[in-house]
Structure formats: C-alpha cells, structure tokens
Amino acid sequence: MTALKASMAGTVLNILVAEGDAVTAGQAVITIESMKMEIPIEAEVGGKVEKIHVEVGSFVNEEDTLLTLGE
C-alpha cells in the first residue's frame, strides 16, 4: 500500500478517480487549489485506488494523505 500525500496545503478542488479505479504512475488523480492556483496531484506509482481520504472542498495540509493505492 502506498499513501499519496498532498505536496502543499490547499483545498481539494476535484477528485478525478473513484475507489476501485486502476491508475498509472504520473496520472493526475486529485486537483488541489492553493493560492488561487489549481495544482494537479499525480499518482507516484500505478495501482488500484483503495481508499480516498478526502472530499471535494476539504482543506488539506502539506503531507496529509489524500488516497491510498494498493496492488
């Protein structure tokens, strides 16, 4: 299991995947809005989305876990 963490503090603008989806490394999975900018957060590794820990509109701090990826 790999935890995908927020690279910076901000508000979750979009969740581009659903639990159970297969994602590839480099694929944008969540968009965070920080300082009036939209920042796509990409999956560092490929895998299946096991759990999404945030929802649209939630505020995240840097290093907060956004979602966990399984095999």
* Minimum CB distance to other proteins, residue 70 (Å): 28
From candidates 10, 49, 54, 69, binder to other proteins by CB under 8 A: 10
Contact between 8 and other proteins by CB under 8 A: the answer reads yes
User: Cα dihedral sign for 24, 52, 55, 35?
Assistant: negative
Contact between 34 and other proteins by CB under 8 A: the answer reads yes
Taking Cα atoms as reference points, which of 63, 64, 4 lies closest to residue 29? 4
The torsion angles phi and psi of 58, rounded to 5 degrees, stand at -75, 150
Contact residues for other proteins, defined by CB under 8 A = 7-11, 33-37, 39
